[in-house]
Chains A and B, each alone.
Chain A
Amino acid sequence: MFSFLEIPGYLIKPLTAGFLTGISCSLVGVFIVTTHLSFLGICIAHSAFTGALLGIWLNFNPTLGALIFSLIASAIVGPLADRGELSPDTSTGIVFSTMLGLAFLIIGLIPGSKSSAMNLFWGNILTVSYTDILLLAIVTIFLIGIFTFLYKEIQAVLCHRNIAIAVGIPSALIFYLMLIATGVSIAVSLQTVGGLLIYSLLLNPSASAYQLTYKFKTMILLSISFGVMSCWGGIWVSYKFNLPTGACIILTSSIIFILCSIFSPKKDKKFKDQNND
């Protein structure tokens, strides 16, 4: 990709941010993909976007706004889904549409140019600051710590919450911890990847890894690798061909997903037949 000496100085920060975003989004992506809660991911991403817009409108740090709103969304959607009167998708949809409505209301209320609000839509990894990188690093270390320390508990909850409950794991605690981790990861990645694009970076690397392996640990490692490859590949394409970086990152992750789907051992007919029994 880049030989070390050829990397222009201004790309060091984006590449570092890409590395950290790739890891953190892919890790929470494993949670979202294996629990089939991809709509929850899109809901939290849009809530973070709304919080960041609020920050711009009321003149406080947008990342802080994103963090607060993504945590609020996680705190509402989790218990609503648990109550069971409505399907998780329905309650997530209600929170999602409310957040989106708020986002457009805030965009309308922001005085003057809306360019900073629009930047949040697409993100801009090339203008990432050292503070953003520091935040990303803290969150990435926090996530790696959670996945390492609570590996077997997370695996049990991802397999099925009833199994985690039955074997005596604090299933609800782990599930909510993962929701919070998803919210935090999205909030700090918003500035770099953007509110609309981050969803793909959450989903594509882990969905690609899911296609290739039958082992949970391998899925996590592959997901991280694909996340980092997507970010670095996207930045390289964007740099070489002068294209929007966020879009290049997402399209790279989509290409990886397509390749993984083509070469997936799970599309094997025998595997499908056994599961349709």
Chain B
Amino acid sequence: MDSPIIEIKDLVTTYYGNTVIKGLSTNFYHNQFTVILGPNGSGKTTLLKSILGLCNIASGEVKVFGEKVHKWKYKIRRRIAYVSQVENIDPRLPITIEESVLLGRAGVRGLGKPYTKNDRELVTQILERLGIAHLREKPIGKVSGGERQKASIARALVQEAPIILMDEPTASLDPNAQLEILSIINNLKELHKNTTIYVTHELAELPEKCDRIIMLKDGNIWRDGNPEELLNEDLLLELYGGSDFCCRDRLKHH
């Protein structure tokens, strides 16, 4: 197997004095689509933020491309694109969809250097691929939540980062918008050859083309394997501890 792109060793993170991740170790490899499943509070988002270097690491380490991450090491983050649960930009702010997507090139371009023609062309290409090119001049406050989330995925894609982290990107959307975003995520491998880590707790939102599933429970890896092994009702019931009906019904959608 190739050398890992992300190495996590004995990671312990704390949040306001509470230990969230409890000694987690794993590696992520090139062009691997990993889905992280787990109930609320299992440490999914914290794991992503640890990779971005934004968590308080009490012990252990996270290395990206062999370099230890830290909140002040901003250059390494140019190689990690991040999509959050909801678009963070306040819809009242004076910014168009195109400008918001162009921000994905801001770090790559370098401090104090203006955007180039190539940056703008790349934004146009990605907006077209995601089917929101017609909204480019629209203020961010004048489009729907689903369209805003598409713009945030577009921003991650124009970054052309070798790593994409997605934190429940469909969590706040209505069913139609969820399906549209999922179809984009399912095509991610064709759009970009990168390492993708996709976090969700929604079984109905599992991407179709994932290579690996990690199940988190109580701040550590509970199961790690391929979807065929892990996506069964018994394991999911044990993971989520919910009712039999709930898991079976949601898994049917996959």
**Chain A's interface: helix, strand, loop or mixed, by majority?**
helix
CB neighbours (8 Å) of B54 from chain A are 165
The answer to whether A158 and B93 touch (CB under 8 A), given A149-B112, A167-B106, A274-B144, is yes
Of A34, A163, A168, A274, which contacts B108 at CB under 8 A?
A168
Is B111 a contact of A153 with CB atoms below 8 Å?
A: yes
The answer to whether A277 and B142 touch (CB under 8 A), given A158-B93, A168-B107, A216-B95, is no
Is B99 a contact of A271 with CB atoms below 8 Å?
A: no
Interface flag for A98 (CB, 8 Å):
no
Interface flag for B82 (CB, 8 Å):
yes
Of A156, A165, A266, which contacts B77 at CB under 8 A?
A165
Of A85, A150, A158, A213, which contacts B111 at CB under 8 A?
A150
Is A215 a contact of B94 with CB atoms below 8 Å?
A: yes
Interface flag for A170 (CB, 8 Å):
yes
Is B106 a contact of A169 with CB atoms below 8 Å?
A: yes
Q: Which residue of B lies closest to A213 (CB)?
A: B94
Is B93 a contact of A159 with CB atoms below 8 Å?
A: yes
| A150 vs B112: C-alpha distance when bound (angstroms) | 5
| A34 vs B81: C-alpha distance when bound (angstroms) | 24
A interface footprint on B85-123 (CB within 8 Å = 1, 0 otherwise): 000111111111001101111111101101100000000
Residues of B57-90 at the interface with A, using a CB-CB cut-off of 8 Å, are: 71-72, 74-82, 84, 88-90
Is A167 a contact of B107 with CB atoms below 8 Å?
A: yes
Listed A/B pairs (28) with beta-carbon separation below 8 Å:
A85-B16, A149-B112, A150-B112, A152-B102, A152-B115, A153-B106, A153-B111, A155-B99, A159-B93, A160-B90, A162-B88, A165-B54, A165-B71, A167-B106, A168-B74, A168-B77, A168-B80, A168-B106, A169-B107, A169-B111, A213-B94, A216-B94, A266-B141, A271-B142, A274-B141, A274-B144, A275-B141, A277-B144
Is B145 a contact of A277 with CB atoms below 8 Å?
A: yes
CB neighbours (8 Å) of B84 from chain A are 162, 166
Of A162, A166, A214, which contacts B96 at CB under 8 A?
A214
Q: Which residue of A lies closest to B78 (CB)?
A: A168
CB neighbours (8 Å) of A165 from chain B are 52, 54, 71, 74, 77
Known contacts A153-B111, A166-B82; 12 further A-B pairs (Cβ under 8 A) = A85-B16, A155-B95, A156-B103, A156-B106, A163-B89, A167-B77, A167-B81, A168-B75, A214-B96, A214-B141, A266-B92, A277-B144
Is A274 a contact of B106 with CB atoms below 8 Å?
A: no
Residues of A205-237 at the interface with B, using a CB-CB cut-off of 8 Å, are: 210, 213-216, 218-219
Interface residues contributed by chain B, number (CB under 8 Å): 47
CB neighbours (8 Å) of A213 from chain B are 94
CB neighbours (8 Å) of A172 from chain B are 71-72
B interface footprint on A146-190 (CB within 8 Å = 1, 0 otherwise): 000111110110111011111111111000000000000000000
Is B89 a contact of A160 with CB atoms below 8 Å?
A: yes
CB neighbours (8 Å) of A266 from chain B are 92, 141
Q: Which residue of B lies closest to A36 (CB)?
A: B90
| A155 vs B100: C-alpha distance when bound (angstroms) | 9
Of A153, A163, A168, A210, which contacts B94 at CB under 8 A?
A210
CB neighbours (8 Å) of A277 from chain B are 144-145
CB neighbours (8 Å) of B72 from chain A are 170, 172
Is B141 a contact of A167 with CB atoms below 8 Å?
A: no
CB neighbours (8 Å) of B220 from chain A are none
The answer to whether A152 and B114 touch (CB under 8 A), given A167-B107, A271-B142, is yes
B127 to chain A, nearest CB (A): 17
CB neighbours (8 Å) of A150 from chain B are 111-112
Q: Which residue of A lies closest to B99 (CB)?
A: A216
| A34 vs B75: C-alpha distance when bound (angstroms) | 26
Interface flag for B217 (CB, 8 Å):
no
CB neighbours (8 Å) of A158 from chain B are 93
| A168 vs B64: C-alpha distance when bound (angstroms) | 14
Q: Which residue of A lies closest to B138 (CB)?
A: A214
B interface footprint on A76-98 (CB within 8 Å = 1, 0 otherwise): 00000000110000000000000
CB neighbours (8 Å) of A160 from chain B are 88-90
| A210 vs B107: C-alpha distance when bound (angstroms) | 26
Interface flag for B139 (CB, 8 Å):
yes
Is B103 a contact of A218 with CB atoms below 8 Å?
A: no
A199 to chain B, nearest CB (A): 21
| A210 vs B82: C-alpha distance when bound (angstroms) | 28
